[in-house]
């Protein structure tokens, strides 16, 4: 049987570049390469695209971009090729692809930009498509659509950089939401630029930090309770992993906590009743559907002491190491890391997967 040729995209022009390298390495080393021909495309921090032909370990150590192992590439606009152009010193070569699996986190990878480029080239994307990726990355848009579907969401206000001149109005927003509250870049991941604000005097500095990551910032009500997650695999027929729970001893689940768990723990399955777990899964699926997600995503929610479920965000390309939340939730449901990847790659050419 002829192997299908699938590109794995890693790196990215994003603050989450290093996280992508870890996720991509785990994905690459767990794929059955007797069944699939894997094409590795690295994107450096400046946005350059390269066909990587070196040792896989060099991805993990961020030593992959070497002249003798990399060939500059560009996505071909020719839909009949549905592939990439290799920009060699001896000339341009064409390489067709059966699909692409972006393992890119954050801006310029998870926000619909890369998905749009691939779709224009008629390269099937394994994962959320252009529109759903962009919608899920924009916290205000995602919340608004979820709310219209009957899902509870935190109250919030959006501010732009020009709004910083109107300090009185921003402070009024903070007073209306109540403290503590969260200040977040509107479109960013891995909790970069997020501040938990406990009093009015901290609000403006938190907003300025948020603007270092995006042109808009969201002031968001803090929901009492704890975060729960729902791992979803598929498009039409869905597989749902076990619900997980983040237990915090202090602060919030910021970038450091996500990758060190210094003062937090993740419980899989979550310490909730079967009835509540079923309700969380049902809500997660409703959010997944309402935002047009496909292939895979992790839906994050809050569970209040009163048992109410609030939408937090959707990660359209969640962490993909063997220790990440998404694969661990599916593992708890009896699906191994290798099986997850096999199911994703089997979606190639099957829009209803």
pLDDT given at position 229: 97
pLDDT given at position 280: 98
* Top-tier CATH class for 4-125: alpha beta
pLDDT, average across residues 209-221: 93
Residue intervals of the chain classified under CATH 3.40.50.20 are 4-125
Instruction: Summarize pLDDT for 164-209 with one digit per residue, the tens.
Output: 899 999 999 999 999 999 999 998 765 788 999 999 999 999 999 9
Could you say which architecture CATH assigns to the domain 135-152+224-346? 2-Layer Sandwich (3.30)
Q: Is the pTM value of this prediction over 0.85?
A: yes
* pLDDT tier for residue 352 given thresholds of 50, 70 and 90: very low
- What dotted CATH number matches 156-221? 3.30.1490.20
pLDDT given at position 250: 56
Task: Please write down the HEC assignment for all residues of the chain.
Answer: CCCEEEEEEEECCCCCHHHHHHHHHHHHHHCCCCCEEEEEEEECCCCCEEEECCCCHHHHCCCCCCCCCEEEEEECCCCCCCEEEEEECCEEEEEECCEEEECCCCCCCCCCHHHHHHHHCCCCECCCCHHHHHHHHCHHHHHHHHHHCCCECCCEEEEEHHHHHCHHHHHHHHHHHCCCEEEEECCCCCCCCCEEECCHHHHHHHHHHHHCCCCEEEEEECCCCEEEEEEEECCCCCEECCCEEEEECCCCCCHHHHHHCCCEEEECCCCCCHHHHHHHHHHHHHHHHHCCCCCEEEEEEEECCCCCEEEEEEECCCCCCCCCHHHHHHHHCCCCHHHHHHHHHHCCCCCCC
pLDDT, average across residues 306-315: 97
Residue intervals of the chain classified under CATH 3.30.1490.20 are 156-221
């Amino acid at each position: 049987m002829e192997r299908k040729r699938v590109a794995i995209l890693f790196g990215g022009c994003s603050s989450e570049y290093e996280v992508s390298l870890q996720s991509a390495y785990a994905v690459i080393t767990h794929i059955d390469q007797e069944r699939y021909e894997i094409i590795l495309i690295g994107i450096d921090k400046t946005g350059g695209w390269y066909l990587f032909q070196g040792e896989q370990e060099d991805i993990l150590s961020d030593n992959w971009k070497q002249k003798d192992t990399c060939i500059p590439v560009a996505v071909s606009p020719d839909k009949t090729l549905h592939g990439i152009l290799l920009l060699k010193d001896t000339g341009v070569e064409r390489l067709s692809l059966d699909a692409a699996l972006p393992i890119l986190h954050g801006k310029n990878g998870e926000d619909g930009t890369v998905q749009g480029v691939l779709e224009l080239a008629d390269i099937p994307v394994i994962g959320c498509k252009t529109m759903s990726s962009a919608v899920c990355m924009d916290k205000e848009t995602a919340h608004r659509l979820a709310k219209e579907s009957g899902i509870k969401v935190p109250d919030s206000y959006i501010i732009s950089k020009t709004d910083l001149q109107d300090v009185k109005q921003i402070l009024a927003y903070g007073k209306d939401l109540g403290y503590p509250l969260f200040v977040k870049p509107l479109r960013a991941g891995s909790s970069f630029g997020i501040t938990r604000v406990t009093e009015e005097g901290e609000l403006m500095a938190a907003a300025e930090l948020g603007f270092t990551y995006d042109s808009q910032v969201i002031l968001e009500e803090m929901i009492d309770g704890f975060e729960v997650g729902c791992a979803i695999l598929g498009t039409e027929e869905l597989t749902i992993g076990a619900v997980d729970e983040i237990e915090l001893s202090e602060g919030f689940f910021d970038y450091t906590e996500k990758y060190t768990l210094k003062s937090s723990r993740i419980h899989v399955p979550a310490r909730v009743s079967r009835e509540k777990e079923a309700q969380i899964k049902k809500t997660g699926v409703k959010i997944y559907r309402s935002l047009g997600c496909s292939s895979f995503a992790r839906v994050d929610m809050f569970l209040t002491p009163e048992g109410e479920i609030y939408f937090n965000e959707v990660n359209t390309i969640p962490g993909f190491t063997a220790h990440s939340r998404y694969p661990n939730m599916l593992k708890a449901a009896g699906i191994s890391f290798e099986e997850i990847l096999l199911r994703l790659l089997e979606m190639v050419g099957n829009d209803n997967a």
